[in-house]
Amino acid sequence: MMNLVVKQPPNSFKTKRLNIQRCDPTFADSLFESATESVKEIYPFLPWCHPGYQRVDANQWLDFALARWQNGDAYDFSIFNQTDGTLIGGCGVSLIDEHPVANLGYWIRTGYTSDGMATEATLGLAEYSFRYLDLLRLEIIMSTRNAGSRHVAINAGAHFEGTLRNRLFLHGQKHDAHLYSLVPETSKEK
């Protein structure tokens, strides 16, 4: 897969309530704290956030995310609340293939859900991706059982394109998935 980004994109961006920064190994303690608070809600859909999650897992993820950024394969961010500086989640885009299309993902710490922060981060990341990564399309794929993620996609103005049969395999179970997309013309303003 080729790196589609010719210029080096910024390491961070802001939205109304969030500071969104490139994943960095110095965030390991904050990531560990945020993930362990959120295992019950996140684990069913994002197996990386498992009941035995440890600091070493946070360290490994942040190192991996930084390497993917440097290779131009993915752009992973940590989401911080501007008010108190708490790491409240993550978001990112990963290139799918040689076309300027990427998968967009997000998660929010349990104590900060239901306040529109995931939607705000998604809209900010979409704007960033279209402006700095020259992407033409972002896809958001989630289990049909993940009502929270679907709610975020809808609130971000993503277009529902259909249900993909057996698209995900989580915890030994097949999941159908919803496919939503964002393209520059349909992205909402922040």
Instruction: Say which DSSP state 5 is in.
Output: -
pTM here is: 0.91
Which DSSP state fits 16?
A: S
Torsional sign, CA 155, 157, 162, 167: negative
Share of the chain above pLDDT 70, in %: 94
pLDDT of 96 above 50? yes
Q: What is the pLDDT of residue 101?
A: 95
The C-alpha angle with vertex 106 and arms to 100 and 110, in degrees rounded to 5, equals 180
Domain boundaries, the chain: 12-137
Stretch 98-117: mean pLDDT, rounded? 94
Q: Model confidence at 2, in pLDDT bands (50, 70, 90)?
A: very low
Cβ distance 80 to 21 under 8 Å? Answer: yes
Burial grade of 156 (CB within 10 A; 0-12, 13-18, 19 or more): buried
Amino acid 17: pLDDT:
97
Res 26: pLDDT: 96
Q: What is the mean pLDDT of residues 174-183?
A: 97
Least confident of 31-35, 61-65, 98-102, 115-119: 98-102
Q: What is the pLDDT of residue 186?
A: 52
CATH class of the region 12-137: alpha beta
User: Partners of 19 in the beta sheet?
Assistant: 14, 80
Residue 4 pLDDT exceeds 70: no
Residues in the chain: 190
Among 124, 107, 103, 120, smallest CA distance to 31 is for 107
Residue 129 burial (CB count, 10 A): 24
The per-residue pLDDT for 58 is 97
Between CA 53 and CA 48 the distance in angstroms is: 8
Q: DSSP H helical segments within 27-170, as ranges? A: 28-42, 55-71, 117-132, 147-155
CA distances (Å), origin 141, targets 11, 37, 159, 161, 189:
25, 24, 12, 10, 22
Q: What's the confidence (pLDDT) of residue 185? A: 76
